[in-house]
Amino acid sequence: MTDPLSPQRRSELMGRVRQENTTPEMRVRSVVHRLGFRYRLHRRDLPGSPDLVFGPRRKVIFVHGCFWHLHPGCKGARIPASRREEYWLPKLTRNVRRDADSVAALEAAGWRVLTVWECETKNEAALERGLLRFLNP
């Protein structure tokens, strides 16, 4: 099926997709801050520019969108049947590969890594428990 939007309109819409300060990221940041932990954002000197960096603890958190990073087993990670799979599948697969490379590089450098998925940010109590488990020594 062809895209109902013109290439210009599609480009405009895709240009609005944010990489930082997304709603799921803001939920995680809010919970972490409320728990009393302090962090740095998007350190470009670390592989993958983690969303939250806890330097003295040598821990980082990535907040991934289920669609953009192909969350395994999540209904939000499927490509709509009416869209161009020949375009989306390689693009999203590259994201997954890049994520794995970033995690491996961080772990090799002595960092502990947590990935929080967009769908996991909707249950605040469960999110808080998971973050506490990860961040406490």
Task: Choose between 81 and 116: higher pLDDT.
Answer: 116
**8 A C-beta contact, residue 31 and residue 122:** no
Once rounded to an integer, what is the mean pLDDT over residues 120-128?
97
Q: What is the pLDDT of residues 22-73, one digit of tens each?
A: 999 999 999 999 999 999 999 999 999 999 999 999 999 999 999 999 999 9
What span, in angstroms and rounded, lies between the C-alpha atoms of 81 and 85? 8
Whether 69 is covered by a domain: the verdict is yes
What span, in angstroms and rounded, lies between the C-alpha atoms of 48 and 114? 13
Which pLDDT score is estimated for 17? 63
Confidence of residue 113 (pLDDT cuts 50, 70, 90): very high
Whether 14 is covered by a domain: the verdict is yes
| Cβ neighbours of 79 (radius 10 Å) | 15
Whether 129 is covered by a domain: the verdict is yes
Q: What is the pLDDT of residues 61-88, one digit of tens each?
A: 999 999 999 999 999 888 767 677 888 8
Which pLDDT score is estimated for 25? 97
Domain that holds residue 47: 7-135
**8 A C-beta contact, residue 62 and residue 105:** no
The count of domains in the chain is 1
The whole model's pTM is what? Answer: 0.86
Whether 124 is covered by a domain: the verdict is yes
For residue 88, what is the domain's CATH number?
3.40.960.10
* H helix or E strand, kind and range, residue 28: helix 23-34
Confidence of residue 137 (pLDDT cuts 50, 70, 90): confident
Report helix angle 124-135 to 23-34, nearest 10: 60
Which pLDDT score is estimated for 8? 73
Asked if the model's pLDDT at residue 1 lies above 60, the reply is: no
Whether 2 is covered by a domain: the verdict is no
Whether 1 is covered by a domain: the verdict is no
Whether 106 is covered by a domain: the verdict is yes
Torsion of CA 39, 45, 49, 54, to 10 degrees: -20
The region, left, alpha or beta by phi > 0 then psi within -120 to 50, assigned to residue 48 is left
